[in-house]
Amino acid sequence: MGVESVTTSLRGPRRVPATTIWPRRVAVLSVHTSPLEQPGTGDAGGMNVYITHTAIEMARRGISVEVFTRATSSEQPPVAELAPGVLVRHIPAGPFEPLGRDELPAQMCSFTSGVLRAEAFHEPGYYDLVHSHYWLSGQVGWLARDRWGVPLVHTAHTLAKVKNAALAEGDKPEPRTRVIGEQQVVEEADCLVANTPVEARQLVGLYDADPSTVHTVEPGVDLERFTPGSQQAARRALGLPPDAVVLAFAGRIQPLKAPDVLLHAAAHLLADRPELREKLVVLIVGGPSGTGLEQPQALRELADTLGIAEQTRFMPPQGGAKLAEVYRAADVVAVPSYSESFGLVALEAQACGTPVVAAEVGGLPVAVAHGVSGLLVPSHAGGDWAAALASVALRPGRRAELAANAVEHARRFSWQRTTEALLGTYAAASRTFHEALRPEVAV
């Protein structure tokens, strides 16, 4: 299958020639979270969405994809079909139960053994390429690359040094073991995939990555699922008042994602505009994750302390059409994260025609066009967020303008576009890997 594609690195765009042959079969490593899990709770989030959609898009192009993830239940089948052409292999490693990310490094030996054992049942050369997601998977991919003699492509999704530089108050820093592990993967991978140019620069500046190996491939959005729709119909489906002022947060409940910033902003908003008390609804959609598991009721308690418990509604993680209803029902979707490699929630909300107010961090300035499809806030202060949210939610004309632009902005991104660029990166990784294997000719 020969296809011409364009992928970018820090040295500019590269055109992959039409004679490029895509891999027949790709081994995708996702140690700590499965694409079969519901995003929004535990460790499941944007990475799950990314792996799922790019794997399905590759399968539509005739490429077989096998995703290796850790088994968390004895009832999980050894192999499950995610979609035609996409298999999920559940590898036993440690107890059959969810483990925290700090517990997973101890299980890497058994997980790696399971991955290598699965390949050993096939003829040599069964997999053409390894794509690892998150640093734990990169450690496994590094060994698989050397054992199988195939290229390793790695996507970090988040970086410890970046997260530690932007910690929420009271949050725990990422451990030194992760920092070292990430550095090792950066040095060993044949190609590194960054979600945005900002992340690409961070890989080079903070981890001394070779710029020629860093490729920027922006994530996409499901433009068939996330589409504009009736706000009133969405509110009826969710049991929300038709005339409410709805501010929504969707994602994992943890300090890094900063849903507390939205609660503080709502309290500021009511202090400035007490007449909104009967209309304001703060919708929090998601479940505890990461360090948020240590105090699973903290957000509810904060709402009570701030005096906005009656205005705050909590919903479990939503998927598919139900998540789209959440976006459509909102006047504004807030993404107040302290660190965000991209921000898929922001893109999904905009695709549904809902403006986004987001923190001006990481990849969010790419996901949100400031002043066009939403607003970016340079701080996490409740007062600043209240002002930004009010300037959109309480000004119908302004909101309508941003909503129309949000749909157009989101249409620039698609999983088809992401996958094409990713395949271009695979081709570049294969060239780099095989050129390195060529013996030097003695002169």
Is-contact 432 213, C-beta < 8 A? yes
Q: Does residue 335 sit in helix, strand or coil?
A: strand
Closest CA to 285 of 243, 313, 324: 313
Contacts of 397 (CB under 8 A, 6+ apart): none
Annotated binding site: 32, 38-39, 43-48, 101, 134, 158, 178, 252, 257, 318, 327-328, 330, 340, 348, 354
Q: Which amino acid is at 57?
A: E
Contacts of 89 (CB under 8 A, 6+ apart): 66, 67, 68, 69, 78, 79, 118
Annotated binding site for Mg(2+): 327-328, 330, 354
Is-contact 178 158, C-beta < 8 A? no
Beta bridge partners of 15: 6
Is-contact 42 57, C-beta < 8 A? no
* Vertex 315: Cα angle to 309 and 316 (nearest 5): 140
Is-contact 162 202, C-beta < 8 A? yes
Annotated binding site for 1D-myo-inositol 3-phosphate: 32, 43-48, 101, 134, 158, 178
Annotated binding site for UDP-N-acetyl-alpha-D-glucosamine: 38-39, 46, 252, 257, 318, 340, 348
